[in-house]
Amino acid sequence: MNTENSKNKKNRRQIVPLLQPKDAMKRVAKRFRSLQSPDGYWVFALEADVTIPSEYIMFNRFLERKIDPAVAKRLGNYIRSKQMPDGGWPLHDEDGPINISASVKAYMALKMLGDDKDAEHMVRARRTILAKGGAETSNVFTRICLATFGQIPWHCPPAMPIEIVLLPKWFFFHLDKVSYWSRSVIYPLLIIYAKQPVCKLRLEEAIPELFCKPAEEHIHIDKYRDKSWRKNAFILLDRILKRTLHLIPDMIHNKAIKYAEKWTREHMAGRGGIGAIFPAMANAVTAMHLLGYDESDPDFARGLKAVDDLMVDKFQSSDNSPREYTVVTGGRELSAAPELDISPGKGTAENLEQCMCQPCNSPIWDTCLTLSAMMEAGEDQNSKLTQQSIKWLWDQQIFFKGDWKSKAPKLEGGGWAFQFENTFYPDLDDTAMVLMAMARAGVLENKDNHENFVKGVNWLLGMQSSDGGYAAFDIDNCALYLNDIPFADHGALLDPPTSDLTARVIELLGVIGYDQNFKPIRQGIEFLKKEQEEDGSWFGRWGVNYIYGTWSVLCGLRQVGEDMNSPYICKAVEWFENHQNKDGGWGESCLSYNNQNYAGLGDSTPSQTSWALLGLMAAGKVNSKAVSRGIRYLLETQKEDGSWNEKHFTGTGFPKVFYLRYHGYSQYFPMWALGVYDRFSAGEDTKQIMMRLDAPLDLGRKW
C-alpha cells in the first residue's frame, strides 16, 4: 500500500493537535454500531418537500384505496407542520420561499383528508396561493395531477402523445435521449395521458377556490415568451399536436399503448418498483389501473407494495432514544428515527406524531458513506461491523445490463444502485463511493475480491462521456434543447456530466493506483478545469451546492497527485476560507441554485461543515485556523448520544425544483471529517491514503 510523498507528510507531522476529537468519534461510533441492521446495512430516512406525501394521499384517492385513519392523521400532521407562517409550503427549509406547486398539492391533499377550507391554516394557504397567481401557475406535473382529478381540462397540460414511444432513435426526440428518472416517469405517464382519466371529487374535496380565473376558461396555460425562439417553437408544436392527436389511426395508438405497457412491466420487475423512485412507481401503478389491472396482477400488486414501502411510520420526536420505538420503511427498520423539528407555534401535543412518504430509500448510499466514515474514525477492518457491511454491499452489485446499454451495448455491468433494488439503473456516484469504501476496508488485500472490484471500475470507465466528464446514470445525455419543450418546465429532463461525479471517479482511480498518466484521469481533470467557477468553486449537482461540488473536486484532485498549490486549487481554498461562518461552520442555502450570490452562504450545518473541512484538508490545510474552527464547531454542536442536529436540506434531487434532507448526512459526514482530522493531526495517513495501491490495479483491458 502507498503513502503520500515525503514533503506533504513532513508538513503534516509538524501539526500540533489543539483539538481532541477522539471522544466525539467514540460517541458516534457507538451510535453507528447500535444502528447497523443485522444484514449489515444502514438506512436513514430520506425526506423531500410536502409534494411526496401529498401525492401519496392523492394516489390512494385516485385508486379509491382508503388510508388507515391513524396514518392519515399522521400524514396530515406532517403536511401542516411544514406550512410557513404566510400560508404556503416551500421546496426546502422552513424559511421558504414558498412554492406554488407544492402549496397547491398540499392544500388539495389536506382537503382530501377532510380539512375544512375555512380552517385558519387553509385560509392562509389559499390567500397565499391566489396572491402568487393561483393554481393555474402550477408546474406541469401539478397540472397533470389537477387534470386527473377534474380540476382543469386535459388540454391545460402539455401534449404527451403516447405515439412518441414508436419514434426512431435518430429523431430529435426519443426517450433514450432523456435521463433515467425522466424516462421511468414518462413511459407510464404517457399511458395516463392517453387515457386522460377524470377522478370525480366530492364537493368538499375540489379546489376551485385556488384559481384566479375559472379553470374551464383556460385554453393555453403555456404562453409564448420574448426572445426564446426555441421554447416558442415547441409551444407552437404543442398547440398543433393538441389539435391533431385525434387524427392518429387507432391501430398506431393501440400499438403505442402496448409498447408502453410492455416497457413499464419490464421495468416494474423486482421489489424496488419502476426506477425505485416514488413518481415513477405511482405513475406505473396508476397506468396499470387505467389499463384494467388490479391487485390480482403480480406487477400491479408488487408496484403497489413498493409505493407503500416508502412510508416512514412512525415519525416521532427526536427527544426519544432511537431504539425506544420502531421506524419502518419498506418492511425494514430504519437505522434511526427521522429527526422531528417542531418549531415554537408549529407543534402541539396532538401533532407530534407524524409520518411521511419518502421519494425513495438510500441504503447503499448510507451504507458506503457510513462505512467510509467508520474506517477513517478507526474501525477495525476485520471487525464484525466492517465485514457484515462489506458482504451486504457485495451482494448488491448489479451485473444486469440496464437502460445504460443503449449507449454502451458492449460494456459489461458491475455497478451499484442507490436503493435496496434498482436493477435497471445503477449509478456512478454510488458505484464509486462503494468501491472507495471497500478499498478503505481492505478488500483489495484479498485477490479473490479483485474480479468483481475490477468489474465495477470498468463499468465506471465505460460510462465516461465524450467531454471527459461523468454523469449519474447515462453517457452523453446532453440534448439540452429538450429542456425547452413545454413538458420540461422543471429543467431537469437530462443527465449531463457534472463536476462532483467526475471528481468522484477520479478519486477512485487514484485509490487504485492510477495517476495523471492515465487518459481517463487527464480527460476528467480537463473537464473539471473547464467547469470551475470564476470565484474558484465548483457547482454541486447532487449536494447543496458549491460547498458540495468544491469538496468533491478537491478530494478527487488530491488523490491523483495534482499539485495542491496550483493557482486554481488555491483559488478554491480561498473560496472556502472566505465563506466560513462566524461560528466556525459552513452552510449554504438551496437558494444558491437560483442565484449564485447565495453561493456558500447560509446557516452552518454539520454536513456542509464536514464537506468544507474534508476539502480544505485534502488541499493540505489541516493546520489552518479555518480547519481548527470548523472542527471546534463540530465538537461543540455534537449531542450526548453522538449525533448532530440538522434541519436544513443539503441534498439535491433536481436544482431549483426538488431538494432532499438526508437524515444520515448530519451523522456520518461529521464523523468522517473528525476521523480525517484526527489522523492528520497525529501525523498519520488517512485510511484511504494507507490503502492506496502501489501499482495500478490490473483492469484486464486498456482504456
DSSP string of 358-392?
-S---HHHHHHHHHHHHHHTT--TTSHHHHHHHHH
pLDDT mean over 118-145:
95
**347 falls in which pLDDT band (50, 70, 90)?**
very low
Nearest to 464 by CA among 703, 702, 654: 703
pLDDT mean over 201-216:
92
**683 falls in which pLDDT band (50, 70, 90)?**
very high
Rounded Cα gap, residues 240 and 371, in angstroms? 54
Residue 310: the pLDDT is 94
Distance of CA 573 to the CA centre of its chain: 26
For residue range 263-272, list pLDDT tens digits in order.
999 999 888 8
In DSSP terms, 415 is beta-bridged to 398
**Of residues 675 and 229, which shows the higher confidence score?**
675
Active site residue 429: yes
Sign of CA dihedral 475, 481, 482, 483: positive
pLDDT mean over 55-73:
95
In DSSP terms, 477 is beta-bridged to 495
**How many CA atoms, within 13 angstroms, populate the side-chain half-sphere of residue 429?**
22
* Residues constituting the chain: 703
* Set 429, 430, 489, 678: catalytic member: 429
Position 659 in a domain: yes
Rounded Cα gap, residues 537 and 532, in angstroms? 6
pLDDT mean over 326-349:
46
pLDDT above 50 (res 427): yes
For residue range 487-529, list pLDDT tens digits in order.
878 888 999 999 999 999 999 999 999 999 999 999 999 999 9
Residue 645: the pLDDT is 92
Cell 470548523 belongs to residue = 630
Residue 351: the pLDDT is 46
On whether the CB atoms of residues 301 and 285 are closer than 8 A, the answer is no
On whether the CB atoms of residues 321 and 226 are closer than 8 A, the answer is no
pLDDT above 70 (res 640): yes
Residue 241: the pLDDT is 85
DSSP 448-462: GGHHHHHHHHHHHHH
On whether the CB atoms of residues 50 and 110 are closer than 8 A, the answer is no
In this structure, what C-alpha cell is assigned to residue 625? 485556523
In this structure, what C-alpha cell is assigned to residue 117? 377550507
Nearest to 333 by CA among 608, 45, 590, 78: 45
Q: Which amino acid belongs to residue 515?
A: D
Rounded Cα gap, residues 305 and 272, in angstroms? 9
DSSP-derived pairing of the beta strands 651-654 and 658-662: antiparallel
Position 617 in a domain: yes
Q: Which residues contact 85 (CB under 8 A, 6 or more apart)?
A: none
Q: At what angle do helices 606-618 and 665-681 cross, to 10 degrees?
A: 30
Position 671 in a domain: yes
Q: Which residues contact 662 (CB under 8 A, 6 or more apart)?
A: 44, 46, 362, 366, 607, 650, 651
Position 347 in a domain: no
pLDDT mean over 597-606:
96
Sign of CA dihedral 498, 432, 381, 374: positive
Residue 266: the pLDDT is 95
Position 530 in a domain: yes
For residue range 152-181, list pLDDT tens digits in order.
999 989 989 999 999 999 998 899 999 999
Residue 352: the pLDDT is 54
Q: CATH no. for residue 681? A: 1.50.10.20
For residue range 65-120, list pLDDT tens digits in order.
999 999 999 999 999 999 999 999 999 976 678 999 999 999 999 999 999 999 99
Cell 418492511 belongs to residue = 331
For residue range 81-91, list pLDDT tens digits in order.
999 999 999 99
Position 53 in a domain: no
On whether the CB atoms of residues 547 and 611 are closer than 8 A, the answer is yes
**9 falls in which pLDDT band (50, 70, 90)?**
very low
On whether the CB atoms of residues 531 and 539 are closer than 8 A, the answer is yes
Q: What is the mean pLDDT of the chain?
A: 90
Rounded Cα gap, residues 3 and 616, in angstroms? 19
Q: Which residues contact 187 (CB under 8 A, 6 or more apart)?
A: 165, 175, 260, 263, 264, 267
**339 falls in which pLDDT band (50, 70, 90)?**
low
In this structure, what C-alpha cell is assigned to residue 317? 420526536
**236 falls in which pLDDT band (50, 70, 90)?**
confident
Residue 354: the pLDDT is 87
Residue 345: the pLDDT is 33
Cell 392523521 belongs to residue = 73
Position 291 in a domain: no
Rounded Cα gap, residues 629 and 631, in angstroms? 6
Residue 233: the pLDDT is 83
Minimum mean pLDDT range among 95-104, 463-472, 605-614: 95-104
Q: Which amino acid belongs to residue 677?
A: Y
pLDDT above 90 (res 217): no
How many structural domains is the chain composed of? 1
Report which secondary-structure segment, H or E, holds 668: helix 665-681
pLDDT mean over 301-312:
93
**219 falls in which pLDDT band (50, 70, 90)?**
low
pLDDT mean over 272-285:
95
pLDDT mean over 468-490:
90
Position 118 in a domain: no
Residues of the chain with pLDDT > 70, as a percent, come to: 90
Cell 471517479 belongs to residue = 505
Q: Residue 562's domain spans which residues?
A: 6-44+362-463+498-690
3-class SS at 483?
A: helix
pLDDT mean over 140-157:
94
